[in-house]
A and B are shown apart, each in its own frame.
Chain A
Amino acid sequence: MISMEVYNKCLEFRKKTGRWPRVKIVEDGRIVYKKDIKSNKKYKHLLEEIDLAYEWKRSPERKLLMEYKGVKIEDIPEEYQDMIRNLRSFGLGVDCKTVDIVEEFVKFYNIYGRAPRRGKDGKPSTKEEQIEKRLYSYWCTCKENKLLEEYVSMELEDIPEEHRAMVEKLRSIGLGLKSKKTTNLIDYISFVQDKRREPVYIMHPKSNEEIYERDLKQRWRMCKENNIYKKYEGVLVEEIPEEDRALVEKIRNLWQEVDGTNIAEDMINFIKKYKREPRNINLSLKCFERKLTEEEQNENLLRARWDRSFEKQVLDRFVGIQEDEIPEEYKKIVGKFREIGLGFPESLNTRMYINFILENKRIPRQVIYRNGTKVKVENCTTEEIDEQAIRRRWDISKDRDIYERYRICDLDDKTIALYSNMIKVLEEAYLVAEAERARITEEKQKKADGKRKKSKNIEGQPQKKKKLKNREKVSEDERKRTEEERRKIAEERRKAKDERKIIAEERRKAKDERKKFAEEKEKIRAENRRKAEEEDRAKAEEKKIIEDLERAKQQAERKLKEERKRKKEEPKRRAIEQKILEKLEIAKRYSTFIKTFNRVPRAKIKIDGKDVETDDLLPNELAEIELTREWRKCKFLETIEEYAGIPIEELPEIYKDIIKDFRALGFGLTYEEYAKYRESNITAPVLRSLKMIRDKALKKKSKALALEKEVAEQLSLRGKEQDDE
């Protein structure tokens, strides 16, 4: 039976604080370690808990608990049953094998009307949440779950008898009726067929229907079937492996059934009509501001249909690939859409933008001026509106951003390769536009020069015409002046722009330099750090070597010292050994004497109460007196008394036998030992032992009295001092 000291301590702690001691303590949003607790007074109150937690972790009680993990309480030895039952009630040493998962599950369902969930992220706050989370994790790993899935399509009668009750119980709360493997697909198909659209992730669902839709979206997003479907996007059914073909075909057919087969035609018609791709209007703010018009709804729907269509998948698959590299079976689909400007890396609008430039030899206008005034939208022609729309879409397009980034060399190679065609054509178009602009400017210049020459020729004509010419000249001068001013302004603007450019360039350069400088600085710092670290390491190594050497030296010195000491003390030791041996010899002789004569050797020989003179003593009497004298001198009796009360086994080896002999003769016994001894012996040793015990008690008493006297003196002195004070 193990001691339950730690368990009891933990129980007490739980009673006090309401929780089991934690090893991992989180305070102020961070884990608090023991060193933190020791260094920070703020966490001092946690020291007891963490110590106890570690003690519990190492305790035999916990080992036992873990040993019996998964074992039924009846099969555990009786002495541990209470403890383990108690610990399991706190959630310790429990797993899915330990609890009756079916019973627990049904119980939970009856209380909450649903199966346990994984719960929200983070730590569960309430006890109920903790239980639910634990139950969910058990359920995920338990064998009952797998069995339920295995028997999903079987009738109760066909299920093996040992599992029938369990399955019946779980089916009664709605579990195990549908296969988990196909649930997601079935739900998805039924949703699409019903709503004729994909499920959407609704951020704040308000009804159960919305909650279901959101869950379905999540489930479908993560399920295996969706992954398989996505894997074969833009792949012809014939090319899909047989094991996945049926699934992909089923989903494609589903969408064909919902969206129809004429998406391509609809797209072509739309592009022809609106000269742009259909938009996803739901994403814009419009849907919040007002309801969509029928036209917008149709556009939206067409966009959604197009996005999930097989043709779009094919186009996306071969985007950026030349037509001659595309496999024959896909060529037809790709070719059809590329004709109308789809299936390229750049958007349809970009292509239209480029076409416009090439056709009109100018960039589409943002604002249209006529006779020097801005034309309102109502007064614009259809072509002008289209032109503006193309420009507007281009200005905010991704392709323009890419082109701009290409110009400032901020584009990765992969994107450059993908958009190389677009960039090339766009640059050519810009060149054409530039050339056209230059030509027009030149023409204008020529015209102006011709007019100037004409006016010079007119100077020699009669007076009548002179006045008119003077007026014309004034207007011409004015025009020239205005033009000059304009040119000046333009020049200034250009200059300012150039200056701004130069400043920007300088700033960029300065920034680069600063960056470079910072990098260099950082490099130097890193180098210094590395050097310092190396130095530190070298120093530490040196220090370590020195320490090792010193240690070795000290060790050698110590050894030498010890050796010397040993050598020095050798004679002393030998003398002591000799003395001990002599002592033992005397003791042996003494005990032999007692055993032989059944009495203690005498110190004096008395006849009629008077001491006998030494000369008159017999040799054996002399030997007896000598033995007593030696016995008293060697003080072996003190050694015997020193070891009184200690069991023979614990005595030093050399004293074991002799002290055992003496104890048998009544020497060195405690009062308790004597009492036992007296029960069996009523002869001389009793008196001997009693006499020795009495002597010992007397010594103790005299010591106590002496101490009492001393303390009393101290007390009286202190009293006197206090009186004086």
Chain B
Amino acid sequence: MMSSCIDCEFEKLQDNKESFLQSIRVEPDKERLRLLELKRKYDNEEISELDISEEDIMKMADLYEEEINSIEAKTNKAKSRIKCMLKELKYS
């Protein structure tokens, strides 16, 4: 009797754990991965524009724009840091 209760409790615990793991798992965005792979290939000139569909071109353009924006943001941050440092350098 006692052992059946313990088994029952153990099963419950197992189920909870699995549901928890299930809930926190991040599913990879397959579409994005595909597009990233496509972009990489295009960058390395493994494929040409002709090999990409118009729909994918649009999506890739979005990816490029995202990348450009992040690069520019980083550049701007670097610029502002340089400015601060130059000021510091000037008044030191």
Question: Which residues does A use to contact B, with CB under 8 Å?
Answer: 597-600, 602-604, 606, 609, 671, 678, 682-684, 686-688, 690-691, 693-694, 697-698, 700-701, 704-705, 707-708, 711-712, 714-715, 718-719, 722
Q: Is the CB of A700 within 8 A of B92?
A: no
Classify the secondary structure of B's interface with A.
helix
Which residues of A lie under 8 Å from residue B67 when comparing CB positions?
A: 694
Query: Beyond A690-B65, A698-B71: 19 further Cβ-contacts under 8 Å?
Result: A599-B50, A609-B46, A678-B61, A683-B49, A687-B42, A691-B42, A693-B68, A694-B64, A694-B67, A694-B68, A700-B71, A704-B82, A707-B82, A708-B78, A715-B89, A715-B92, A718-B89, A718-B92, A719-B92
Which residues of A lie under 8 Å from residue B29 when comparing CB positions?
A: none
- Chain A residue, CB-CB nearest to B57: A687
Q: A548–B52 Cα gap in the complex (Å)?
A: 74
Q: Is the CB of A704 within 8 A of B64?
A: no
Tell me the smallest distance from the CB of B5 to a CB of chain A, in Å.
Answer: 59
Q: Is the CB of A602 within 8 A of B48?
A: yes
Judged by a CB distance under 8 angstroms, whether B72 is at the interface is yes
Which residues of B lie under 8 Å from residue A705 when comparing CB positions?
A: 78
Q: A694–B39 Cα gap in the complex (Å)?
A: 12
Judged by a CB distance under 8 angstroms, whether B86 is at the interface is yes
Classify the secondary structure of A's interface with B.
helix
Which residues of B lie under 8 Å from residue A687 when comparing CB positions?
A: 42, 49, 52, 57, 60-61, 64
Judged by a CB distance under 8 angstroms, whether B79 is at the interface is yes
For chain B, residues 57 to 75, give those with C-beta under 8 angstroms from any C-beta of chain A. Answer: 57-58, 60-61, 64-65, 67-68, 71-72, 74-75
Judged by a CB distance under 8 angstroms, whether B18 is at the interface is no
- Chain B residue, CB-CB nearest to A671: B68
Residue of B49, B60, B85 with most partner-chain A CB within 10 A = B49
Judged by a CB distance under 8 angstroms, whether B31 is at the interface is no
Q: A611–B61 Cα gap in the complex (Å)?
A: 27
Tell me the smallest distance from the CB of B46 to a CB of chain A, in Å.
Answer: 6
For chain B, residues 9 to 29, give those with C-beta under 8 angstroms from any C-beta of chain A. Answer: none
Judged by a CB distance under 8 angstroms, whether B81 is at the interface is yes
Judged by a CB distance under 8 angstroms, whether B7 is at the interface is no
Tell me the smallest distance from the CB of B17 to a CB of chain A, in Å.
Answer: 42
Q: A256–B81 Cα gap in the complex (Å)?
A: 109
Q: Is the CB of A682 within 8 A of B71?
A: no
- Chain B residue, CB-CB nearest to A712: B85
Which residues of B lie under 8 Å from residue A678 when comparing CB positions?
A: 61
- Closest CB pairs A-B (n = 5): A684-B49, A690-B64, A704-B78, A599-B48, A697-B71
Q: Is the CB of B75 within 8 A of A697?
A: yes
Tell me the smallest distance from the CB of B29 to a CB of chain A, in Å.
Answer: 21
Tell me the smallest distance from the CB of B77 to a CB of chain A, in Å.
Answer: 9
Which residues of B lie under 8 Å from residue A701 when comparing CB positions?
A: 71-72, 74-75, 78
- Chain A residue, CB-CB nearest to B89: A715
Which residues of A lie under 8 Å from residue B52 when comparing CB positions?
A: 687
Q: A592–B75 Cα gap in the complex (Å)?
A: 36
Which residues of B lie under 8 Å from residue A606 when comparing CB positions?
A: 46
The answer, among B42, B49, B57, B86, for a CB contact under 8 Å with A598, is B49
Q: Is the CB of B54 within 8 A of A714?
A: no
Which residues of A lie under 8 Å from residue B46 when comparing CB positions?
A: 606, 609
Q: A167–B2 Cα gap in the complex (Å)?
A: 134
Q: With A602-B45, A603-B45, A705-B78 as known contacts, state yes or no: A684 contacts B89, CB within 8 Å.
A: no
Q: Is the CB of A700 within 8 A of B75?
A: yes
Q: Is the CB of A715 within 8 A of B85?
A: yes
Q: Is the CB of A694 within 8 A of B45?
A: no
Q: A686–B75 Cα gap in the complex (Å)?
A: 23
Q: A711–B52 Cα gap in the complex (Å)?
A: 44
Q: Is the CB of A697 within 8 A of B68?
A: yes
Which residues of A lie under 8 Å from residue B72 when comparing CB positions?
A: 697, 701
Q: Is the CB of B75 within 8 A of A704?
A: yes
Q: A719–B60 Cα gap in the complex (Å)?
A: 47
Tell me the smallest distance from the CB of A541 to a CB of chain B, in Å.
Answer: 56
Tell me the smallest distance from the CB of A664 to a CB of chain B, in Å.
Answer: 15
Which residues of B lie under 8 Å from residue A602 when comparing CB positions?
A: 45, 48
Q: Is the CB of A714 within 8 A of B89?
A: yes
Which residues of B lie under 8 Å from residue A719 when comparing CB positions?
A: 92
Q: A705–B58 Cα gap in the complex (Å)?
A: 31
- Chain B residue, CB-CB nearest to A628: B45
Q: A718–B79 Cα gap in the complex (Å)?
A: 20
Q: With A606-B46, A722-B92 as known contacts, state yes or no: A708 contacts B82, CB within 8 Å.
A: yes
Q: Is the CB of B75 within 8 A of A711?
A: no
- Chain A residue, CB-CB nearest to B63: A690
Q: A684–B50 Cα gap in the complex (Å)?
A: 8
Q: Is the CB of B79 within 8 A of A704?
A: yes
Tell me the smallest distance from the CB of B22 to a CB of chain A, in Å.
Answer: 37
Q: Is the CB of A694 within 8 A of B71?
A: yes
Tell me the smallest distance from the CB of A283 to a CB of chain B, in Å.
Answer: 88
Q: A700–B50 Cα gap in the complex (Å)?
A: 30
Q: Is the CB of B45 within 8 A of A683?
A: no
- Chain A residue, CB-CB nearest to B52: A687
Residue of B43, B54, B60, B64 with most partner-chain A CB within 10 A = B64
Q: Is the CB of B65 within 8 A of A600?
A: no
Which residues of A lie under 8 Å from residue B58 when comparing CB positions?
A: 682
Tell me the smallest distance from the CB of A607 to a CB of chain B, in Å.
Answer: 11
Tell me the smallest distance from the CB of B88 to a CB of chain A, in Å.
Answer: 6
Q: A693–B72 Cα gap in the complex (Å)?
A: 11
Q: A603–B46 Cα gap in the complex (Å)?
A: 10
Tell me the smallest distance from the CB of B39 to a CB of chain A, in Å.
Answer: 9
Which residues of B lie under 8 Å from residue A604 when comparing CB positions?
A: 45
Q: A169–B50 Cα gap in the complex (Å)?
A: 95
Q: Is the CB of A682 within 8 A of B45?
A: no
Which residues of B lie under 8 Å from residue A690 when comparing CB positions?
A: 61, 64-65, 68
